[in-house]
Structure 1
Amino acid sequence: MAVRHEVENLIRRGNIFYWRPRIPAHFTACPSGSRLSLSLQVSDHRKAQMVARRLNTRLAELRFVERERMSTREQLQKLFIQVRDEMLDHLEDISVAAKRNGRADDIEELEHDLEMGWAYKLLAQFGLRRELTLEDDCSGTTYLLKNGVPASHIPAIRANYFNELKRSIQPSFEHSIRKLMEAFDINDNPINREKAASRFFEGKAEALLDVDDRHPLADRSLSEFTGGGRPTLKLVPNAAEEPKTKEAAPSHDPVIDADNSGSQATEVKPGTDPRPVVALEEFESECNKLITNMGEEWEPATARDVLALVRLFKTVLEEHDVKHSGQITQYHIGKLRQHFNDIPARWGQSHRMRGMSAPELRAEGEKLKATLGDQAKVGLSAGTIRKHFGNLQHFLKHIRGHGFEITDWTFDGLRPRKPKKGSIRAQQFKPTPEDIKPIFSSSIYTGSLNSGRGRSKPGKEVYHDSLYFLPIMLTYLGARRKEFAALEVDDIYQEAGGYVIDLQPNSLRRLKNEQSQRILPLPDELVRLGILDYQKAIRKLGYIQLFPDLFSDKSNNDPGDRFYDAFTPIMKKALQDKMWNRALHALRHGMADTLYQAGVPTAVIDDIAGRLGDDSETATRYTNVAGLPLMREALSKYPIITSGVEPKPIQLLPWVENKLPAPWARRGKKSQ
């Protein structure tokens, strides 16, 4: 036994054994720099030879495993560096944008980075299989506190953690991790996937936590994260109360509420219960906090709408000399409702008009009426007013929920009623396949004059871009235009049953709601017409976006809106006098109606379209979404209306192929 253990020890040190055929049998160990002979009493030469072979085989295995382990370690480190550097580049872009918006010295920008960085740290440390609560008795909370994270920032870290955890347990995340492992030659197995995910999160965390270079101007004394103190609450005296005379100094010092802006602090008498209010100039700051709290529950477009409404409400209040939240009354909410009737209907869609005050917007409405008369689109629609009142309710509840003074309010008598269900069905035109078919006879598919304004004119050139592929996707799958417009290159991949489109939140856009996250079968017509060859060409050029023609570095545009602006004129020309309202959204309704008329259950249609539909217990709790085979069967009921389109060799737009700036973009056109 002693000799056996010695042999095993020698194996661990990396020695090589060979057998010398004599009695007693010897196995000679050859350590580096010396020779050592061991005698094993083996009576049978064959047995001795077998033992030697086994020892050498075991040694080879150990060396192979060690080499593989070292290689994997090195490749994981390369993966980590790649993720970290990409995140640093992304954060640098955000930092530049903050400077352009006058927020270069904003301590909140620094805090947001640190809060997100610690959320990624938790994912790296605890993995995806364990869901932390981040309550007082949670090991995640203990980990944060031990590492010096202030307790006051843990709620924000918790929100970031849950958002990222929800995204990371989706199939698309595992797919992206496998792609990363493939890129760095890491063997694909469960252990390595876990290691790769951990290094992925660590890379993002390290980039986010490295705040010194990105935020050099932020005042570190304003944040507990950086050794300072949390700014104390500014109290604005309630104008409704009579000013109180200053009494003689009591036996203990009065409490002074510091105002970090440098204005005179308000003295609060001990024993009183002051009611803090939000000054009007702080409304936008509070709205940004609300947007942060909502996280991924709100799309960027929703956050933008809420912020625009709060700015508008602020200017209405300014007209009536309101100074803070404690002075808002039901009367002022009524004034906002009347204001909605007198402003241009497209106020929210105009970058210029979103920056106007309430009087300026009403003047713009009067100008439109004077110019266009009854044709002027003035006054918001009932649905838009309902949306704005819903957003205002969120904001006012946020103010009240944080302890600020605000009077009771109601929207009764102000909010338009929802239309009855019977009338909703007739509001949106539902095009049949025959109604849509002329689109695929347009110059986009038969040949256009050139890649610019000549796309709508007949010619010989067929270009492959969003204008070519998105109408086919929207027709056969009925998705929202932004869901497909902001696809990434890796969102199309092959599974056991065929190719799929993976609709998950990605770096280009979020999704409307939980049920919007889904995996759809890739229509056969898209494969026939070259979507996979197109994907390869775009990936080879290094683009992240599947449709880079919808994006620009010059302007922070919505890719869905860009597609709408580019394709609607071509669609209008193809359909001639049969163009319908809300044309692209109608394709979504048309697909659903066609499947419904073919006998497909509404629950399956809702799953394909990314709607919740029936909110019964069976639909929401006891069943999963329709699987890919069921979806394929349902989608096969939609007739093929693109059979007349001939597949052509892939030809990208010249500026996309040469990676030039988008010719349609205008610098400075930023969405707000």
Structure 2
Amino acid sequence: MSFPLATGSYSRARSIADRLGAAAETLRMSYGERTGMSPDKLKQVFSDAMRWQLGRILEDQVGSAAPSSDHATTNSLHAVAWEFLASNGPDARWTPDDHERLVELGWSPDKAMSVAQFLFDNQNGSHVSRKQIDTYLQAFGIADTHDNVARIKRTVFEARAAACREATKRLPLDNREEIARWVEEATIDNTPFAFEQIEPQRASTKSEPMVEAASAPMPTPTAPPEHELPQQAVPAATKKLLLDACEECVVAYEQAGAWSAESIKQTRTALMLFDYACGEKAFIEDLVQDHVTSFVTLCRKLPNRWGRTTEEQAGGIAASLRRAETMPVGDVGISQQTINKHLTWISAVLKHAAGEEGATNGHRPARQLLFDRARAGLGKKAARERKRDRDKRANWNKQEVAHLLSAPIWSGAAGIDERLSAGNFLVHDAWYWMTLMLPLYGGRSAELAGLPLSDVHEEHDIPYFLIDYTEDRALKNVQSIRKLPFHPELVRLGFLDYVAQLRAAGCTMLFPELDSPKAGSFASTFYKTVFRKWRDWAFPQGTSWRHRVGGAWKDKDTHSFRGFATSMLKGKVTDSVRCDLFGHEGETETERTYDEEADLSVKLDALRLLSPVTEHILPTFPVTIRPPERLRHGTPRGRRR
């Protein structure tokens, strides 16, 4: 799609295509056309896809001499891969967390990596061909819409996973039992013998071979079979530096769109550490098992937050090791979870460097490196010790939110750069609105802070924000694409006037002061310039939940508002509406597949339940946006107001 859309970015092309598809579907709906898909039609797709896939697998199993255990392993690997795509969508990328999840469930690291390799090898093509999709659309009378095609793909993935599981069930546990059944059937089989079946054919063409032999040209001499030729010695491959192999792997995965910028950063970090543990400038062919042990030892000697100081950035890993010698024991040692992620990236690079199995131009250690022992703490024990996601973060409670919302930001501050000191100054910007939107929406700060004005639709009967992918801001997943109505509290405090003034000033972003060219994201800019100062004002010593994790202090953050809003609505609105508001995928297959996005009016009624959180704030000042010179990120030098 990137070529006709005149963009070299695959992600940008997908984003444009998704938005065009959404617009087309909206147009169909406005003309009263039904574009949905009934459960019966989806069931037909599932049945057709499963029967076809199961037939292919059973044919392969019968025609292969491999033992049943090998077929069962292959089926299991493919089933996990198809289930991953069914749950996360055809464009989903396998991450180290997915790898660790399989290992914790008892999979070996190599088998878990095989799932990742299968997904990587197939991601450049289409997992489900357009011909297959068109067949289902035509045969079952399904409208050709973006959502319907996406559901068909996920259903096909589910069907393929089910076929793999069913094929394993049909594997014979004992080949002798299968032979015994064949014996019983053979004794009552009256079919003519094979030579009897072809005898009539021989009789009808008895004289033809002589004629053909007389007129046939002499056979051309052929070269002896390959296995009869003398074997030539394969020249030794040139050694490959470990860090060079890392860069080649990064380029390959980056071009395929398989790794994000964060994944690439983690890969380079892991390989830099591994190379240091191997003595630096190590060649892949020279790696031995002791190097894996040295790597784990190095990780346990480093500060758990290493590379942060100026000295470390200048002096490298050696400087970090020197710093660790002066630190408390509790602040030293990278966590086992992080070590395991590093090992995942190292394994990926080594596997890429080795190439195809048996390839003579690959680069690999003389003996395969084993990482099982390095992954200490995995398995059932670690699975029991893992915290639930809800325990890893703490939500803000009502009292804490009330205290945060008592800041001078809304009643009058000392100046544009002194928003937490009382005064008679008030301006409407990210300080004013974003801090209200967090508890009122429970939205991800990245979604709200990076909203372009083109996705703000104040002219609609029910004004709303369109949360969608943009060139400047990605989303967590496809479920994050949704519409959010303007909260009544925002409208009460003058949000419509705020948007109008921004448009008149020629702004393109809802919060232009958060658009920092040097920052990694809008969310990080908001966190550093607004949220952290706001939280420190309300809780100078931190909240009661503040604690140290791996040498760093952890406290309630912007994401804690998400849990706050979710808890406020739980039991008061349906789960499907909550999922639509917060950009969550449905908890059941029915919710994920059949439920349509809730109407704006339904969402608006749900959001009204959060109004008491901010109803004490009064619109005592007229709506005023930032002065023109401050409608961008940064503070002009020598000027404070």
TM-score (ref. length: structure 2): 0.55
Equivalence map 1:404-423=2 (5 Å): 404-406=362-364, 407-414=368-375, 416=377, 417=382, 420=385, 423=388
Deviation at 1:331, TM superposition (A): 3.5
Match for residue 442 of structure 1 among 403, 407, 431: 407
Is the CA contact (8 Å cut-off) linking 2:513 and 2:630 kept in structure 1?
A: no
1:475 and 2:439 aligned: yes
Amino acid at match of 1:313: F
Residue 306 of structure 1 contacts residue 391 of structure 1 at CA under 8 Å; is this kept in 2?
Answer: yes
* Paired residue type of 2:585: L
Q: For residues 261-300 of structure 1, what are the structure 2 equivalents within 5 Å?
A: 272=234, 278-283=240-245, 285-293=247-255, 295=257, 298-300=259-261
Instruction: Tell me which of 496, 505, 509 is aligned to 1:532.
Output: 496
User: Per-residue deviation at 1:329?
Assistant: 4.0
In structure 2, relative to structure 1, the CA distance for the partners of 1:283 and 1:169 (3 Å cut) is same
CA distance in 1, matches of 2:352, 2:487: 45
SS state at 1:644 partner? coil
C-alpha spacing 1:322/1:490, structure 2 compared with 1 (3 Å) = same
SS at structure 1 position matched to 2:419: helix
- Equivalent residue runs for 1:227-376 within 5 Å: 272=234, 278-283=240-245, 285-293=247-255, 295=257, 298-317=259-278, 320-321=279-280, 323-347=282-306, 353=312, 357-367=316-326, 369=327, 373=328
Displacement of 1:355 in angstroms is: 6.7
Choose which of 122, 147, 159 in structure 1 pairs with 2:4. Answer: 122
* Deviation of 1:492 (Å): 1.6
Match status 1:433 vs 2:281 = no
Q: 1:537 to 1:288 in 2, by over 3 A?
A: farther
Q: Distance in 1 between matches of 2:568 and 2:461?
A: 25
Amino acid at match of 1:437: A
Whole-angstrom CA distance in 1 between matches of 2:416 and 2:284: 54
For the pair 1:609 / 2:582, whether they are aligned, the reply is yes
Deviation at 1:427, TM superposition (A): 3.1
* Counterpart for residue 565 of structure 1: 528
Listed one character per residue, the Cα deviations across residues 373-407 of structure 1 (whole Å, up to 9, x for unaligned) are 36x73333455445444444444444445774333
* 2-structure distance, mates of 1:341, 1:425: 28
1:587 equivalent in alignment to 2:576: no
- 1:433 aligned partner, one-letter code: K
- 2:20 and 2:486 map into 1 onto residues whose CA distance is 15
- Distance change in 2, residues 1:619/1:538 (3 Å): same
Amino acid of the structure 1 residue aligned with 2:4 = L
Distance apart, 1:486 and its partner CA: 1.9
Letter in 1 for 2:300: N
**CA 1:573–1:285: 2 relative to 1, 3 Å:** same
Alignment of 1:472-511 (within 5 A): 472-494=436-458, 498-511=462-475
Read off the aligned partner of 1:327 and give its amino acid letter: D
How many pairs were matched up? 411
Aligned match for 2:333, one of 379, 382, 387: 379
CA contact (8 A) 1:337 1:414 kept: no
**1:534, 1:650 within 8 Å by CA — same for their partners in 2?**
yes
Residue 642 (structure 1) shift: 0.8
Q: Following the alignment from structure 1 to structure 2, what is the Cα–Cα distance between the partners of residues 418 and 354?
A: 36
Distance in 2 between residues matched to 1:514 and 1:600, nearest whole Å:
23
- 2:413 and 2:422 in contact (8 A); partners too: yes
Q: CA deviation at 1:442?
A: 0.4
Distance change in 2, residues 1:608/1:450 (3 Å): same
Shift of residue 349, structure 1, vs aligned partner? 6.5
Distance 1:637 1:562, change over 3 A: same
Question: 1:425, 1:393 → 2: CA distance?
Answer: 31
Q: Partner residue of 1:116?
A: none
Aligned Cα RMSD in Å?
3.9
Match of 1:233 in 2: none
Shift of 1:173: 8.3
Query: What residue ranges of structure 2 are gaps of 5+ in the alignment?
Result: 32-230, 546-554
Shift of 1:348: 6.8
In structure 2, C-alpha distance between the alignment counterparts of 1:350 and 1:540, rounded to whole Å = 45
Contact 2:462 2:600 in 1 (8 A): no
Letter in structure 2 aligned against 1:489: L
CA distance in 2, matches of 1:609, 1:439: 22
Equivalent position amino acid for 2:331 in 1: K
Deviation at 1:519, TM superposition (A): 2.6
Determine if contact 1:334/1:414 at 8 Å carries over to the other structure.
no
RCO higher in 1 or 2 (8 Å CA, sep ≥ 6)? 2
Supply the distance in 2 between the matched residues of 1:387 and 1:348 (Cα, whole angstroms).
Answer: 18
Task: Label 1:315 to 1:442 Cα distance change in 2 as closer, same or farther (>3 A).
Answer: same
Distance in 1, matches of 2:318 and 2:339, equals: 18
Question: Partners in 1 of 2:342 and 2:636 — Cα distance?
Answer: 32
Q: Does the Cα contact within 8 Å between 1:443 and 1:458 map onto a contact in 2? A: yes
Give the gaps of 5 or more residues in structure 1: 1-118, 126-156, 179-188, 190-268, 666-672
Paired residues of 1:299 and 1:511 also in contact (CA < 8 A): no
Q: Secondary structure at the match of 1:487?
A: coil
Measure how far apart 1:439 and its partner are.
Answer: 1.4
**SS in structure 2 at match of 1:380:** coil
Change (3 A) 1:436 1:392: farther
Q: CA deviation at 1:652?
A: 3.1
Q: Which amino acid aligns with 1:405?
A: H
One-letter code of the match for 1:587?
F
Alignment of 1:106-145 (within 5 A): 120-123=2-5
The question of 1:455 aligning with 2:434 is answered: no
Aligned to 2:274, the other structure's residue is in SS state helix
Q: Is the 8 A contact 1:498 1:521 kept in 2?
A: yes
- What does 1:635-646 correspond to in 2, within 5 Å? 635-646=607-618
| Counterpart code for 1:476 | L
Q: Is the contact made by 1:476 and 1:635 (CA closer than 8 Å) also made in structure 2?
A: yes
> Secondary structure of 1:471's match?
helix
CA distance in structure 1 between the partners assigned to 2:613 and 2:384 by the alignment: 34
Q: Deviations over 1:95-134 (max 9, x none)?
A: xxxxxxxxxxxxxxxxxxxxxxxx5333469xxxxxxxxx
The CA deviation string for residues 245-285 of structure 1, in whole angstroms up to 9 with x for no partner, is xxxxxxxxxxxxxxxxxxxxxxxx97627657642342452
Matching of residues 70-81 of structure 1 within 5 Å: none
Please point out which of 15, 25, 32 is paired with 1:167: 15
User: Cα–Cα, structure 1 residues 601 and 348, in superposed 2: closer, same or farther, change >3 Å?
Assistant: farther
User: Taking structure 1 as reference, are residues 584 and 518 closer, same or farther at Cα in structure 2, changes over 3 Å only?
Assistant: same
> Cα offset for 1:470?
1.5
Q: Could you tell me how far 1:578 is from its partner in structure 2? A: 6.3
- How many Å separate the matches in 1 of 2:266 and 2:495? 35
Normalising by structure 1, what TM-score?
0.53
Distance (Å, rounded) in 2 between the aligned partners of 1:337 and 1:311? 13
Query: In structure 2, how many angstroms separate the alpha carbons of the residues matched to 1:445 and 1:172?
Result: 40
Which SS does the other structure have where 2:325 is aligned? helix
State how far apart, in whole Å, the 2-side matches of 1:333 and 1:625 are: 50
| Aligned twin of 2:623 | 650
Distance between the aligned counterparts of 1:497 and 1:352, measured in 2? Answer: 58
